[in-house]
A and B are shown apart, each in its own frame.
Chain A
Amino acid sequence: MAAGDVKVGITTNKALKCAIFDGVDDYISVGSATAIDNIFSNGGSVSFWVNARNGGEGDSGRIYDKSNLIIRLTGTVAGKSKISITRVHSVTSGIWTSTATEVTNNQWTNIIIVYDDSSVDNNPAVYVNGTAIAMTETQAPAGTASSDAAATGYLGNNSATTATFFGGMTNIKFYKFRVLTSTEISQLAQGLKIDTFKQVAEWNFQNGTYQDSIGTNHGTNSGTTITIMDSDLAKNIKAQRVGANDKWLVFKSNDNQVGHIEIEG
């Protein structure tokens, strides 16, 4: 390449249509139907794709909150956040937090949690991009898991709207009475489809709505918008850059992907 040479790229990989939360007060309510109550009772699994800008409101941005079940980001340091899970029990709530910061800001990250809350001896298994991560049990559960049936489920916030997620979230899948295998976890982390056996909900926003494409737990949003975030955009531009004198153009491409043009300086 020499001065004047031109390179054009259009990002396509992992261009995910997602719900955008503002880190201030946005949320998606998914109701409290029986299908999604006590999702981890006798074994369940949930999968989220998140693209967080930081740890969210109060460094406690909710991925999912159903009062007695909380999945959130926290402990954000140097552009990476920890994953924390709280499962309320009748005597003492169980709290598990990833030992290390695992979720990198501004990158699409797949988070899968597999857990059976029917015994206090069980711990959630958490996978980030298909790999099991170390979790620290910061508070051991005691008693029995408290039902969350009476509470409304929220994506991206809590019921008080004081813990807003900041960034994008999509391809959210809930499985009840199904513990995903390592193969299935790997497939989901690669963006592949797995069978829908025992799947009770999916919010993927691909049709531009907040509907549950598997069940009837249709979401109702407040403040969020649906758009496309392309995780590879920053990476591609960085790879394409030759020097400080490069000139750049950018454009909205087909299907909301982003095109970029570099003219070498």
Chain B
Amino acid sequence: MAAGDVEVRIVNAVVADIDTAVTAMRVTAGANGKFMITSIGPESQQVVIIAITEA
């Protein structure tokens, strides 16, 4: 992944799933990667996690 590349994941809004996703996305996005998160779904039962890779 190059600087500016974006990865989006949607996972269930439970700690274990978010932990797993962010851990994996951190590897791709790098030490300076930026992360955002927001809930989604009819009852906010999922979250969207966005990672921007930065050099």
A contact set with B: CB distance below 8 Å: 20, 22, 53, 106, 168, 208, 225-229, 233-235, 237-238, 241, 244, 246, 248-252, 256, 258, 260
Contact = CB atoms under 8 A, between A and B. Distances in A.
A225 B46 contact: yes
Interface of B: 3-10, 12, 32, 34, 36-42, 44-46, 48, 50, 52, 54-55
Contacts of A208: 42
B54 A244 contact: yes
A227 B40 contact: yes
Given A227-B10, A241-B52, A252 B42 contact: no
A31 B48 CA distance: 32
A237 B46 contact: no
A228 B45 CA distance: 11
Given A20-B46, A227-B40, A227-B46, 5 more contacts: A238-B4, A238-B5, A238-B52, A250-B38, A258-B40
Nearest to A51: B10
A251 B40 CA distance: 9
10 contacts: A20-B10, A168-B10, A225-B41, A228-B41, A237-B6, A244-B32, A244-B54, A246-B34, A248-B36, A250-B37
B38 A252 contact: yes
Given A208-B42, A258-B40, A106 B7 contact: yes
Nearest to B47: A252
B38 A244 contact: no
A256 B10 CA distance: 12
Q: Which 4 A-B pairs have the closest CB atoms?
A: A250-B36, A227-B41, A234-B6, A234-B8
Nearest to B37: A250
Nearest to B48: A258
Which one of B4, B12, B37, B45 has the greatest number of beta carbons of chain A within 10 Å?
B4
